[in-house]
Amino acid sequence: MGVPRRTMVKVPHSHPEVVVMLPNPPYDQRISSARVWSGIWSITKHVLLFCLGMIVGALFLTSNDVQKRCLESMVAVGFSSHRAREICYKNPTVSHSGVLTRFDCMPRNANAQDCRRRGCNWDESVQNVPYCFYPDNYGSYSNENVTNINGRTTATMRKKLKSPYPEDVDLLQFEACAETESRLHIKITDAKKDRFEPFYPVVPQVDCKSSKNNQYQVKISEGKMGFKVLRSSSGKVIFDSEDIGALIYANQFLQLNARFPAGSLLYGIGERQSTMNIETSAFQSFTLWNRDAAPTDKINLYGSHPFILIRDQYDQNNSKWHGLFLLNSNAMDIITQPGPAISFRIIGGIMDFYWFMGDTPSKVTEQYLEVIGHPHMPPYWALGFHLCRFGYGSLDNTILVWNRTRAAGIPFDVQWNDLDYMDNNNDFTISPKFSKLSEFVEMLHSIGMHYIPLIDPGVSAGEKKGAYEPYDYGLELGIFVADEKNKPFVGKVWNGISTVWPDFTNPKTVDYWRVMLEKLHSQVPFDGAWIDMNEPSNFYSGTRKGCPKNSLNYPPYVPNVLGGQLFSKTICPSAKHYRGNHYDLHNMYGISEAIITSFALVEIRNEKRPVTISRATFPGHGHYAAHWTGDVFSTWNDLKLSVAQTLNFNMFGIPFVGADICGFNGNTTVELCARWSQLGAFYPFSRNHNSDDTKEQDPVILGPTVVTAAKNALEIRYSLLPYLYYLFYDSHVNGKTVARPLFYEFPEDENTHLLETEFMWGSCLLIIPVLEEGKTTVEGYFPIGTWYDLNSNKTLIAKSALKKTMNAPLDLIPLFVRGGCILPTQAAKATTTESRKTPLTVRVYLDANGRGQGSAYFDDGDYVYSIDEGKYSLVNFAVKNKVLVGTVAKSGFAQIPTLETVLIHGECASVTKLEVNGKTWNNFTHNKSSCILTTIISANVLEGIKITWQTS
């Protein structure tokens, strides 16, 4: 009869990804009376199973954490009675028992014989969980000599079991340092010799401090393996690695397993093309190894961010959040699983962890950015709309698209060119088809616009000697990444024959890169740099002949990288940099280039703020540069996921971020591009860009529907730029996010914790894009409060959180301002340069108590040291009891727009009197139907503003 077929049965609701394999009956069973009775019994059985399922569901809702895991595991194994006993009753006091919480003992080529040889358990009766898993109290290392002095806890960890990986470290040093009351730093290192540690980001070096106010505790016990981190306020364990799985510390394989509190929600771990929340009902693996690949789910992408935001508690509208950061630049897999639990598998470096105790999401991010660096402050013009295409092919075509965009009245600030402006795709050259590019850029500057070209890191190595200075000069300085023979490592990207890569860790490369950029700038006075292909990307996997056979190129454990090898479509890990092997430095190549590029731009452009847009990223990148999310597809799914990507990178400290509007790969449609133009108008970085093998997609070429959608949305963006500019100031100075999920503002509202279809600019602007094809309505979620429709000026009062379906025709994106906010605005013009010249309008949106607050930041918009040197002005607005006050917090920049109009939304009572700075003011109107009070004044906010009004 052979092996019976098997049916995949989805387990509903609690674990939709878990499946059970059930054997199917043979085909040749015939109808008989026995078969009839069998059928009757089958129906009866299914009814009974349905009833049982209802009972289990009811039990699940009323069970404690231990009972819930028992029920989850029973579902996963099909309610087999003997397995249920094993799962639920063998260790009834262990809260994390069950097949769904196994830790994988053999992540590659699992088989029973080798599994048992490792001292692990083997069980293949359940699908989609590890067959080979660690037993309880595996004890690969044992803690010794635990001490705790002045905020520093230390211990040694002695190896007890040999791992399956070569070059185990026998003795480890554990150190937990209380750096601040909210920040804990734990390092596990080789006790006998140094190992590689990343030099970016530049983290603070502080003394450990013992304080009764520390929000965390560390517990490490003699004779145990691992450690625990607890939240002081509750005594709750938020990270438990004590005798969990196995601690492994070999030369090229480091592993740590741990559990989070039951019910925890996880976010972060990037870069990835998926939802912001990490689903933990099934096992998932996230691989960090920077890679040039069009964004799709479950592959390693352009950036590596081993940061996790965790909601560790939620009860009675009260939530607690913390963050976990692993400072390591080597390739790694991070595995999440039910429990929830986590496994780190790293192939080099050290274990260097930070905990940020929050306890709100926004505080966690602020604490994280104190370690990796606050985001840079972009120039004002960079907040405008950008337009690009790979495949313009000539300056004439570039100007054609530029002209029609301007003629359509679409606000527009920055024109870009992809590599087709280069001669033979070689950096720092100009194609004959772009021979008058300099004149075009000068013209852009004359009307207040700007220009950004592509600059790849790869330098052509195939030109004749003396014919291409970037290669000859780099060779002379010896600044190219080297192969095992200390010759320039040769691969291939867009260049005609071959490519070499500058080593951005070499001090000499600083001057080399500046000189090359300066010479290009003397030909074309560009305003920023678009650094692409800097994972680094390589059309070969290694060299044309591959990579040498050694442990760097073929390590004993290869994470789940796309292509199956570390060198797939990149440089060989054995390649040599000034500060180490590419094996350790790969993930830092992009940030190294971004840092040097930004510093060079500051010098070349006479201390103007650099605009460096990079594809590859690493923690700390946002301190120097921005990011776009790469070669996304022109699909509704990628449109939707771009919201999560934007929010993730704000969490990672890179707030100046956005996706290619309308998509890069594939052909867009009119409807998709209209909706994407609306959403993209509210990316912090707003650029339309696509590939050369797709149809054109600038708004005008797609027709009036897209033009209207883009124009309407961008005009709102431009009017709100003073508010957006303040948000970037707040991000730069205080580590705040610019675009943020609703749970950052409403962590007490559990309905926001998984909401990823709408987002906010700062605390005030709610953006509800249409993300589905064929829809002219959209459902918005509104937390408790007063919300003002920015399009209609209507008021929505949410006494309790509510969902509302709103009309959203193709020319409109729903936008709401939160009551209690005060927004500075200016008129939308063709460019930010023109908009900045218009008078200021202050829009006050009263909350239910008639209060509100907000701020406005002013500087020249471009000087890199404005904040450091105090050459800026800051005005804080507050309203209470029908009194609006503008207080000058800083007066270091005088050339600010005149305050001309003040609008107070939410004042429904009849206004009988208004005063400005103590003087009766008659120049006001009050619309009782819209509840808007408008007054026209002409005032300098740096002299202070006070407006009072009375009502009857």
Q: Does 40 score more than 70 pLDDT?
A: no
Q: What is the number of other CB atoms lying within 10 angstroms of the CB of residue 318?
A: 10
- Summarised one tens digit per residue, pLDDT across range 478-535 is 999 999 999 999 999 999 999 999 999 999 999 999 999 999 999 999 999 999 999 9
Which pLDDT band holds residue 317 (cuts at 50, 70, 90)? confident
Rounded CA-CA distance 563/566 in Å is 8
Instruction: Note the helical H segments in 800-863.
Output: 832-835
Q: Does 784 score more than 80 pLDDT?
A: yes
pLDDT at position 87 is: 33
Q: What is the number of other CB atoms lying within 10 angstroms of the CB of residue 791?
A: 15
Residue 535 known to be catalytic: yes
Q: Does 63 score more than 70 pLDDT?
A: no
Kindly state the average pLDDT of the residues 384-413.
98
Return the CA Rg of the chain. 30
**Bridge partners, residue 337, by sequence:** 341
Q: Does 700 score more than 50 pLDDT?
A: yes
The answer for 760, left when phi > 0, alpha when psi is -120 to 50, beta otherwise, is: beta
State the span(s) of the chain assigned CATH 2.60.40.1180.
739-951
41 near 48, Cβ under 8 Å? no
Average predicted confidence (pLDDT) for the chain: 91
pLDDT at position 98 is: 78
Catalytic one of 179, 292, 532, 745? 532
Rounded CA-CA distance 170/372 in Å is 31
**Three-class DSSP category at 691:** coil
707 near 410, Cβ under 8 Å? yes
pLDDT at position 316 is: 80
pTM of the model: 0.90
Q: List the helix and strand counts (H, then E) for the chain.
A: 17, 53
Kindly state the average pLDDT of the residues 351-379.
98
pLDDT at position 54 is: 52
Q: Does 7 score more than 60 pLDDT?
A: no
Rounded CA-CA distance 761/411 in Å is 20
- Summarised one tens digit per residue, pLDDT across range 73-108 is 344 334 333 333 333 323 333 334 578 889 999 999
Look up tokens 């023979």; give the residue: 485
Rounded CA-CA distance 419/454 in Å is 6
Closest CA to 345 of 137, 194, 556, 568: 556
Output b/e per residue, 416-455; b: 16+ Cβ within 10 A.
bbbbbbbeebbbbbbbebbeebbebbeebeeebbbbbbbb
- The amino acid that residue 531 corresponds to is I
Catalytic one of 271, 427, 535, 584? 535
Q: Does 194 score more than 80 pLDDT?
A: yes
- The amino acid that residue 451 corresponds to is Y
Q: Does 159 score more than 80 pLDDT?
A: yes
Kindly state the average pLDDT of the residues 787-801.
97
**Bridge partners, residue 845, by sequence:** 821, 905
Which two three-digit tokens encode residue 267? 């976010």
298 near 17, Cβ under 8 Å? no
The yes or no reply on domain 739-951 and CATH 3.40.718.10 is no
Kindly state the average pLDDT of the residues 373-381.
98
Rounded CA-CA distance 951/928 in Å is 12
**pLDDT above 90 coverage of the chain, percent:** 89
Rounded CA-CA distance 397/416 in Å is 12
**pLDDT above 70 coverage of the chain, percent:** 90
Kindly state the average pLDDT of the residues 885-906.
98
- Summarised one tens digit per residue, pLDDT across range 434-461 is 999 999 999 999 999 999 999 999 999 9
Rounded CA-CA distance 855/528 in Å is 28
pLDDT at position 51 is: 52
**Bridge partners, residue 258, by sequence:** 342
Rounded CA-CA distance 124/137 in Å is 21
- Summarised one tens digit per residue, pLDDT across range 98-153 is 788 899 999 999 999 999 999 999 999 998 899 999 999 999 999 999 999 999 99
SS (H, E, C) 592-615: HHHHHHHHHHHHHCCCECCCEEEC
- The amino acid that residue 555 corresponds to is P
Kindly state the average pLDDT of the residues 659-687.
98
**Three-class DSSP category at 795:** strand
Rounded CA-CA distance 306/323 in Å is 11
652 secondary structure, DSSP code: T
Compute the C-alpha angle 618/622/624, nearest 5°: 105
Which two three-digit tokens encode residue 642? 């771009």
590 near 571, Cβ under 8 Å? no
- The amino acid that residue 746 corresponds to is F
pLDDT at position 50 is: 53
Instruction: Note the helical H segments in 562-684.
Output: 582-585, 589-604, 636-651, 670-680
State the span(s) of the chain assigned CATH 2.60.40.1760.
132-372
Q: Is 920 exposed, middle or buried (0-12, 13-18, 19+ CB in 10 A)?
A: exposed
Rounded CA-CA distance 136/307 in Å is 28
Q: In the chain, what is the greatest distance between 2 CA atoms, to the nearest angstrom?
A: 100
Kindly state the average pLDDT of the residues 663-681.
98
**Three-class DSSP category at 211:** coil
Rounded CA-CA distance 898/839 in Å is 5
Look up tokens 């309905």; give the residue: 751
Half-sphere exposure of 141 (CA within 13 A, CB side): 32
Cis peptide before 359 (omega within 30 of 0): yes
Kindly state the average pLDDT of the residues 600-611.
98
Topology of the domain comprising 132-372: Immunoglobulin-like (2.60.40)
Residue 532 known to be catalytic: yes
45 or 271, greater pLDDT: 271
Q: Does 238 score more than 90 pLDDT?
A: yes
pLDDT at position 190 is: 98
Closest CA to 360 of 741, 844, 785: 741
What distance lies between CA 210 and its chain's CA centroid?
33
17 near 279, Cβ under 8 Å? yes
Pairing of strands 529-531, 686-688: unpaired
Lowest mean pLDDT among 88-97, 245-254, 392-401: 88-97
